[in-house]
Structure 1
């Protein structure tokens, strides 16, 4: 970007940079892979140099739980951050004008938690992969829901100085095969009638957590893939209080970005076509490149070539680069840093504009 500064000197103009996006962020999947305190510290400093301002810590996953817990210590992975280390990272981030957003994902992505508490697993009939491996919370059980709220409460306290809290809510079940969850289906029909499919209880659960999060002073966020799906009845609607982090539309039944905006939600761009840095290139992804981002992405472009109008863009809060650790041993910490730096810089460049005075 220095060539713009040189141009300013040659023409005698004064140039200033202004962000096109209020939030310019990185999301780190530290649930599947342990990232050391020192590495995250360096990530924060790298973000500060790029004038990025939000770091989302996805600290729970099927494969691991990476922050100390006094509520349920048995769920914590051997390699994890202590609460003191997390507090130190928050202070460091704040010193560099970077906000931390914690993410504690539910009611899916809970295999680590449910290995300790198998009585709260949602059972699935048949052997359909990948949702048969006990990663979903049985949200028909009041005890299960209250247990997870107790866990949330612990991290509400740890992150009490943060403004936002991400509740996950993605990939709970196979939303196209809801009849394969007999407990969920029966409970939904009992409460909502014959038209119910089970998704109603999922929405009830998410809306309850949204209210719970708001009551503790946080602004809640959720992923997009489970809401307003075209192939599901709308007996319950997602709370408008949730900001939606829009990552994918790989399934045509998923609602468009425009649909969320029309329904009154703020949205954030996690475009998986450009910004999903998935370790080991799992799930069909390829590592993003600087050239691809510079040549093909614009700030109004969401997954699957969804391009928003100027008016729709007023509902967009920002864009994030997402480091997903699906194959944790595929890259070392050093290799992650080396490989992500180019595309991260390219993304950040596209989120600033130059103003001549």
Structure 2
């Protein structure tokens, strides 16, 4: 989400103030660029854009980047695939030239533009879940391979070596497009995957292998928290974006079970942790023009303690977004703009990002 004289004064003020603020910001960031980039992603604030379900053009994404104050936000994650759509043009998937997609050249240009603004550009290619659109493309262009790597309608078979090879090939296309950064990251996914119990070791092994591949290419890796169990074999090198212990579940019986199984923040203390608290940090792109909701969202984000994670409360068996975890050495939060409506008010999105640049938060970046 007047009189002529007033308009003139307002425009004049807007022209002057951002220039002085950003000139100072960029000068400071340039002087400390190595230190800033070397910091773990978990120590910085970031923004995620769901460009899979709400496609944006290269130019529109660059407009968003232009409004990101590098003293407040240090990275931008582009969510490039979901069940509905793959928005990255992949030679492997055969969708080069498809409408509402970003080419490798587009991502190269966006990465270069982000670096110019002292922002890290992070591609997010979500596997093994949320892959219905990916499997659809693969079935059309490589039906035999699609049958081999398919677990169900929207999940890749993470126990299959051919699945790992396929995802590595796709990720390598993204690596090449987004590599010209000092500290590049890749988001590997792990969102809402059916991989508990005995299957979880295989799922964590899947991510460990993808992470090792990314490390060889000079990239660090990020995955979502809700596929990680309390007892897991996940590499400590992988950064975890923690949105909610209970995920999207709200029923008490389900939360009781998930509390026993899913990793708490404390269980993941040895990982770099990103606070992506679903209650405070998520905004649906369809709600951009709901002024009251957007302003409440910005206020909540500004007021929320960055050590408040969304955990299951064992006293009430409900989700508690204010579960304070003072033992967690994290100082950054991830704002997530999700959506399922491909037609959004892009200019309003840009304005909301601009409004989020306020440094009133108790965690200046």
Structure 1 residue 290 and structure 2 residue 298: aligned?
yes
Aligned to 2:176: 157
Over 3 Å counting, the alpha-carbon distance change for 1:31 and 1:76 in structure 2 is farther
Assess if the C-alpha contact under 8 Å between 1:28 and 1:57 holds in 2.
yes
Task: Give the CA deviation at 1:277.
Answer: 1.0
Task: Give the CA deviation at 1:46.
Answer: 0.5
Aligned to 1:112: 133
Matches within 5 A, 1:120-269: 120-123=149-152, 134-162=153-181, 163-173=184-194, 175=195, 197-229=198-230, 234=231, 236-250=232-246, 252=255, 253=258, 254-261=262-269, 264-269=270-275
Instruction: Please give the alpha-carbon distance, in whole angstroms, between the structure 2 residues aligned to 1:352 and 1:298.
Output: 12
Over 3 Å counting, the alpha-carbon distance change for 1:348 and 1:135 in structure 2 is farther
Assess if the C-alpha contact under 8 Å between 1:166 and 1:221 holds in 2.
yes
Over 3 Å counting, the alpha-carbon distance change for 1:160 and 1:249 in structure 2 is same
Task: Give the CA deviation at 1:317.
Answer: 5.3
Instruction: Please give the alpha-carbon distance, in whole angstroms, between the structure 2 residues aligned to 1:348 and 1:83.
Output: 37
TM-score by structure 2 length? 0.72
RMSD over aligned CA atoms reads 2.9
Instruction: Please give the alpha-carbon distance, in whole angstroms, between the structure 2 residues aligned to 1:199 and 1:85.
Output: 36
Task: Give the CA deviation at 1:90.
Answer: 1.2
Assess if the C-alpha contact under 8 Å between 2:150 and 2:156 holds in 1.
yes
Aligned to 2:323: 306
Aligned to 2:316: none
Instruction: Please give the alpha-carbon distance, in whole angstroms, between the structure 2 residues aligned to 1:43 and 1:76.
Output: 24
Structure 1 residue 323 and structure 2 residue 352: aligned?
no
Task: Give the CA deviation at 1:49.
Answer: 6.8
Structure 1 residue 26 and structure 2 residue 51: aligned?
no
Assess if the C-alpha contact under 8 Å between 2:282 and 2:337 holds in 1.
yes
Q: Match for 2:348 among 335, 343, 348?
A: 335
Instruction: Please give the alpha-carbon distance, in whole angstroms, between the structure 2 residues aligned to 1:160 and 1:83.
Output: 11
Higher normalized helix content (fraction of residues): 2
Instruction: Please give the alpha-carbon distance, in whole angstroms, between the structure 1 residues aligned to 2:97 and 2:52.
Output: 10
Deviations 1:16-43 (A, max 9, x none): 9x99984121111111111112211111
Task: Give the CA deviation at 1:339.
Answer: 4.8
Deviations 1:131-177 (A, max 9, x none): xxx1100223332332222111221222222421111112122x5xx
Task: Give the CA deviation at 1:299.
Answer: 2.1
Instruction: Please give the alpha-carbon distance, in whole angstroms, between the structure 1 residues aligned to 2:332 and 2:75.
Output: 10
Over 3 Å counting, the alpha-carbon distance change for 1:153 and 1:291 in structure 2 is closer
Instruction: Please give the alpha-carbon distance, in whole angstroms, between the structure 2 residues aligned to 1:144 and 1:35.
Output: 29
Matches within 5 A, 1:71-86: 71-74=92-95, 77-86=98-107
TM-score by structure 1 length? 0.73
